[in-house]
Amino acid sequence: MLQRWRHGRRCRKLAGFSSAPELSNYLESCASLAADRLDNTPLISVDLELTGLEKEHDKIIAIGWTLIEDGKICLGSNRHLLINIDKSVGASAAIHELMDSEVAAGDELEFGLAELFRAAQGRIWIFHHAGLDVGFLKKACEQWAGVTPGFMVLDTLRIEYRLRKRREVPVKQGDLQLSEIRRVYGLPRYTAHNALIDALATAELMLAIGSRMEPEGSLKLAPHLKFF
């Protein structure tokens, strides 16, 4: 409860300093955002594609997201944006199957951020490995709007790790990859790999985790929230 109050106070304060109206509106919505259960809290599942893992010099090259309402994925809300960067995608092309020419035809990062934070108003974020994506988004927002926003997050990797530790299940290298956890929950394997598909895969996994943890009801979110 104290963390949520501090998060709201911080967001309310930052809203007045943001130079981007989309981020200001997001921050204002954060100030009064309530987290109840998985079936009645608005959520946004997000994935980024990156040129590498170092936010100081690597770049966001794609953003994908989908919304969850009343415990159901809203497929009509799906968005996938390629982001134009001023450098080659390099070795990441082998992972994301994105070529320099495709990225060069993408949107400016400022447009992608504006669209993303407009969609995120009044919602809790879902990521798989939140620290990585949030770190890149914070850096991008500082350059875009002059502030580093707060995030109220459900991290499927962190939640699953804590569940396994509680059950004293050993966790080996690779066990917490998105595709591997989905396999454990009986979810289908997606062969394509892009930001939207991973955002959808993360949304499905979050709902599957919630269903397994609370088979007769709906998962209460407060114990599983992380604040950035």
What mean pLDDT do residues 172-196 have?
Answer: 93
| pLDDT per residue as tens digits for the range 28-46 | 999 888 899 999 999 999 9
pLDDT of residue 97: 57
User: Which of the two residues, 217 and 98, has the higher pLDDT score?
Assistant: 217
| pLDDT per residue as tens digits for the range 65-103 | 999 999 999 999 999 999 998 765 555 544 455 655 666
Residues facing 72 on adjacent strands: 69
pLDDT higher than 50, residue 55: yes
What mean pLDDT do residues 174-197 have?
Answer: 93
pLDDT of residue 172: 94
Q: Are 69 and 42 in contact (CB under 8 A)?
A: yes
Q: Are 100 and 88 in contact (CB under 8 A)?
A: yes
Q: Is 124 exposed, middle or buried (0-12, 13-18, 19+ CB in 10 A)?
A: buried
pLDDT higher than 50, residue 117: yes
Residue 105 binned pLDDT confidence (cut-offs 50, 70, 90): confident
What mean pLDDT do residues 109-136 have?
Answer: 98
Query: How far apart are alpha carbons 186 and 155 in whole angstroms?
Result: 19
For the chain, the helix, strand and coil percentages under 3-state DSSP, each to the nearest 5: 45, 20, 35
pLDDT of residue 94: 43
pLDDT of residue 85: 85
Number of domains the chain is built from = 1
What mean pLDDT do residues 131-153 have?
Answer: 97
Domain extent, residue 9, equals 2-227
CA angle 4, 163, 55 (to 5 degrees): 60
Share of the chain above pLDDT 70, in %: 92
The 10 Å Cβ neighbour count of residue 20 is 17
Mean pLDDT computed over every residue of the chain: 92
Which of 23-32, 102-111, 161-170 shows the lowest mean pLDDT across its residues? 102-111
pLDDT higher than 60, residue 175: yes
Tokens of 56: 């100081």
Q: For residue 15, give the CATH number of its domain.
A: 3.30.420.10
pLDDT higher than 80, residue 142: yes
